[in-house]
A and B are shown apart, each in its own frame.
Chain A
Amino acid sequence: MEPKTIQPYTQRTLEADRPFSAKQFFLQWEWLLAFILIGVIALNTSLSPYFLNISSLRDATMVFLDKAFIVFPMALIMIMRDIDISVGSTVALSSVVMAVAYNSLGVPMGAAVVICLIVGALCGLMNGLLIVKFKELSAVIITLATMILYRGIAYIILEDQASGSFPEWFGFFGWGYVYGIPFILILFILAALLFGLLLHKTTFGRHIYAIGHNDVASRFSGVNVDRTKVIVFTLAGLMAAVTAIFLASRMGSTRPNIANMYELDVIAMAALGGISTAGGKGRLIGTVIAVFIVGYLQYGLGLINIPSQTLLIVVGALLLFAVIVPKLNIPRFKK
C-alpha cells in the first residue's frame, strides 16, 4: 500500500485561497456530467417525440428514483475506500419482512413500514460491526457473505411467493404527488440535501474523507474510525430499506428476488458521479446528476423499445467510462 500523502488537503486549502477562475470552475467532473445529461436528453428527444415534455420527464422519476436513495450512503462508503455489495439483498429482506409483518402477522401498515426501516438498519449495522471487528477481512468479502445470507433469509421467509395487497394509502409512496410533484422526487431532493450537508458541512463528513485518504493517520488524529464506519454502513442499510418501501409501493407487492443486482447499478451511478473507487475523493452533486443520466437513459431507451438487456451494456460501459477517463490524465480533467 503506497502511503497516501495529505496533498489533497493542502490542495483544498489552496483552492479556497485562490481567486475564482472560470477555467478551473468549468473543468470539473460535474460539468462533464451535466453535458452528458443534456446529451442524453437531446438524444432521447431526437429518438422519441414523447420524451421531451414536463409530465413525461416528471413521471419518469417515479420509475428510476427508488434505487437512487442508496447511491448517497454508497458514495460515503466508497469515499471511505470500502464497498457494500449487500444492499440489493437488504432491499429484498426488509421489504419481505414488511410484507409478511403486514399480511401474516397482522401488524398495522404504518408499523410495518417502521419495521422495514429497522430491519434495513440492522442489516447495515451487522455489516458495519463485522467490518470493524474483522479488519483483516475486506468489506467486499463480508458484504458478499451477508449478500447471500440476507437474500437467503428472504427466501426462507417467503419461499417463492409474492406478498402484496397493501392498503391503498401505501401506494402513495410510489405513485403519489404533492402539489403536482412526485412524492419520491421530493424525498429524493430532501435526502440529497441531508447527505450533502452531512458529507460537506459537518465534522463527520470531513472524517469520512480523512478515513478515505488514510485511515491509520485518521485514527492517530483522533478520528473514531470504527464508529464512523458503523454509522455509515448502518445508513446504507437504512436507505436500502427506504428503497424497499418505494419499490414495494410502486410494484404493489414484493418477492424475495426483487432488487437483484441493484448494488451494481448503485455502484455504477456513484462511480459515474465522480466518487473515486480508490477512496477519498468525490462530491455528492455528481452522484445526483449521474442518477438522472442513468435514469433518463433507461427511460428513453424504454420509449423506443430497446430491450432492457441492452441497458446492461450501457450501464457497464458508463461505469468503465467513469473510472477510466480520470486515469487518462487529460490535462486537469480530473475528478
Chain B
Amino acid sequence: MAVHTANAPAAESAAKKESKLAGLAKFRELGLLAFILLLAIGVQIRNPSFLTIENVMDMATNTAILSILAVGMMLVLVTRGIDLSIGATLALSGMLVAQIVSASAGFSPLLAVITGIGIGTVCGLVIGGLVAWLGVLPIIATLAMMNIYRGFTYMASDGKWISSYQMPESFVGIATSSVLGINTLILIALFIYIAAYYFIGHTRTGRQIYAVGSNPESAKVTGINEKKILILVYTLMGGLSGLCGVLWVSKFASAQGDTASGYELSVIAACILGGVSIAGGSGKLSGVILGAVLIGILNNALPMMDVSPFWQKGIEGTIILGAVLLNAAVKRGVERNHLLRRRI
C-alpha cells in the first residue's frame, strides 16, 4: 500500500511530461487539412479569384496526374522501397503512344490508353524483377532504369517534339473532354482512388503489401510471398505511370524527350507530406490525397499571389523538409509517451 502511494505522484508527474506533440499525432490528417484550409483562406484574401469554382476545378485537373502517381508511390514506399524512375516511364509511354497516334489517326483513344498502361507495366515489371529477384536496392535500380528509360525516350523521339497538330482530336480529347461538367482527368483519378481504397483495405493482397512493409521477416514467416508483392507493387507503379504518360501528353498536347523530368520528386513529396513513412509499413490514401492537394494548391496559389516562379522550388523544399522533420518530432513524442505509460 505504501508503495502505491509513493508511486502515485511519480506517475502523475510522468503523465504531465507527456509530449504535447503527441496529441497532434492522432489528428495528423486533420492537421494537414487545417494547414490546407488556412493556406486557402490566406490566398483567397490576397486574390479573390482563388476559390471560384472555375479555379478549383482547374486545380483539381492539374493535380489529377500527381495524385494518381502518388497512389502507386505510396504502395512502393509502404514496402520500404522508392521509385525514382516514374518520370522517365511516364515520358517513355507518352512519347511512344504519341508517335503511334500521330502515325495512324484512326487509333482509338481507349486503345491508346491501354497501350500506354501496357508500356508502363513492362517498365515497372523490369524494376520489380531487379528489386525482387536480383535484390538490387530500390533506389539504385530505379536510378539506373530512370536513365535507361529516359535514354530510350530521347532515342525514340530523335530529339523532336510531337506537338498538338500531329495528334488527332480524339486523342487530345482524352484529357480535355468532360463528363457531366467534370473533367475526365478528375474522374479517372477518382476511379483510381476508389479502386485503390478497395484494393488496399479489402483484399488479401492489399493487406499483404502492408505486412511486407512493416516487417519483411514476419511476413515471410507468415507465408507471404514477399517477392511477388514487391514485383506487384513496382508493376502497379509502372502501369500507373504509363497511364499518366498518355494523360500527360493528351493534356499538354505535346510529347518531348524531357517530359516530366524530375516529376518523381513532387510525387514523393506529396506522399511524405501525406504522412507516408519512408521506413515502410504505414501510409493512408486520405493522407496521400491531402498531400497531393497541398502540392497542387502551392503550384496554383504561388503564381496567383504574385510570388516569383523562382521562389517556388525553394518554398516547396522548405515545406517538405519542415513537414518531414515535424513528422519525425511528432512520432518521437508518441513513442516517449508509450514508454512513459509502460513505466506506470
Contacts and interface: CB of A to CB of B under 8 A. Distances in A.
B311 to A, nearest CB: 6
Interface of A: 2, 83, 130, 134, 136-138, 140-142, 144-153, 155-156, 159-160, 256, 264, 267-268, 271, 277-278, 307, 309-317, 319-320, 323-324, 327
Contacts of B135: 327
Contacts of A312: 147-148, 150-151, 154
- 3 shortest A-B CB distances, which residue pairs? A152-B314, A149-B317, A316-B147
A308 B140 CA distance: 21
A141 B268 CA distance: 9
Contact of B316 (A2, A83, A148): A148
Most buried by A among B145, B272, B314: B314
7 contacts: A2-B217, A145-B324, A149-B317, A150-B317, A156-B314, A277-B137, A312-B151
Contact of A136 (B143, B155, B328): B328
Interface of B: 82, 130, 134-137, 139-141, 143-148, 150-152, 154-155, 159, 217, 257, 265, 268-269, 272, 278-279, 308, 310-318, 320-321, 324-325, 328, 331-332
B313 A148 contact: yes
Contacts of A311: 151
> Which of A83, A134, A141, A150 gathers the greatest number of chain B CB atoms within 10 Å?
A141
Contacts of B278: 137-138, 140-141
A142 B324 contact: yes
A319 B147 contact: yes
B133 to A, nearest CB: 10
A307 B310 contact: no
Given A137-B278, A145-B321, A277-B137, A317 B313 contact: no
Contact of B145 (A146, A268, A316): A316
A313 B257 CA distance: 14
B140 A271 contact: yes
A302 to B, nearest CB: 15
Given A136-B331, A160-B310, A312-B151, A141 B140 contact: no
A309 B144 CA distance: 14
B321 A267 contact: no
A37 B173 CA distance: 51
Contacts of B325: 130, 134, 137
B148 A313 contact: yes
B310 A159 contact: yes
Q: Which of B140, B311, B325 neighbours the largest number of chain A CB atoms within 10 Å of its CB? A: B140
A313 B310 contact: no
B160 to A, nearest CB: 12
Contact of B144 (A156, A256, A316): A316
Nearest to A156: B314
Contacts of A316: 143-148, 151
Contacts of B332: 136
B331 A264 contact: no
Given A152-B315, A267-B143, A320-B141, A144 B268 contact: yes
Contacts of A320: 130, 136, 141, 144-145
B173 to A, nearest CB: 31
Contacts of B328: 134, 136-137
B139 to A, nearest CB: 6
A149 B151 contact: no
